[in-house]
Amino acid sequence: MFRFANAGMLWWLLGVVVLLLLCWLYRWRRVRRSDLFAQRGMQGLLMPYASKMRFWVRSLLFLVGISALIVGLARPQFGMREVKSKREGVEIMLVLDVSNSMNAQDVKPSRLARAKLEISKLLERMRQDRIGLILFAGKSYVLLPITNDYATASMFLSSVNTGLIQDQGTALGEALE
């Protein structure tokens, strides 16, 4: 299915037709003025740089460019129409510390391994919810954007280790932004 998201912009194409008429009028008046200057046969000798074709090529390229800009602003779209649907469940964005302090073994097997285990259990219980994962240490970055693909989330989670972020520290504030 083909449609325009902003079909009202297409009315501006009438302005392109007006510009085409103005180009034709300008060229016609220019030819009339040059006829007053010299006979048609002599004009080529007196003005070798003047070209009818160059004027029309430049004008048409300009008008095609303006037309393409207008059509682009009308936002042509292919495919199905966007439908907003209500979705059950919640969106959960997890923030996980991957600084070297997570290697501490005060919790068995380590803080990071325990956190990954708990997140894996959470993933197993999720049905219609969406989940994402942000890692932080000295800096933070989004490891997994919000998704409902739990297999991918598990794969990304299994790759998490304390060596992923070189800058050490605890930039929790940056991660929460």
* pLDDT for res 70: 94
Query: In the chain, where are the structural domains located?
Result: 2-78, 91-176
CATH of range 91-176; options 1.10.3720.10, 3.30.565.10, 3.90.700.10, 3.40.50.410: 3.40.50.410
Statement: residue 11 has pLDDT above 90: yes
Percent of the chain scoring above 90 in pLDDT? 25
* pLDDT for res 87: 74
Question: Average pLDDT of 10-31?
Answer: 90
> What Å distances lie between residue 98 and 11, 32, 55, 128, 135, CA to CA?
56, 79, 66, 28, 6
pTM above 0.85, yes or no: no
> Which range among 38-42, 63-67, 121-125 has the greatest average pLDDT?
63-67
Statement: residue 140 has pLDDT above 70: yes
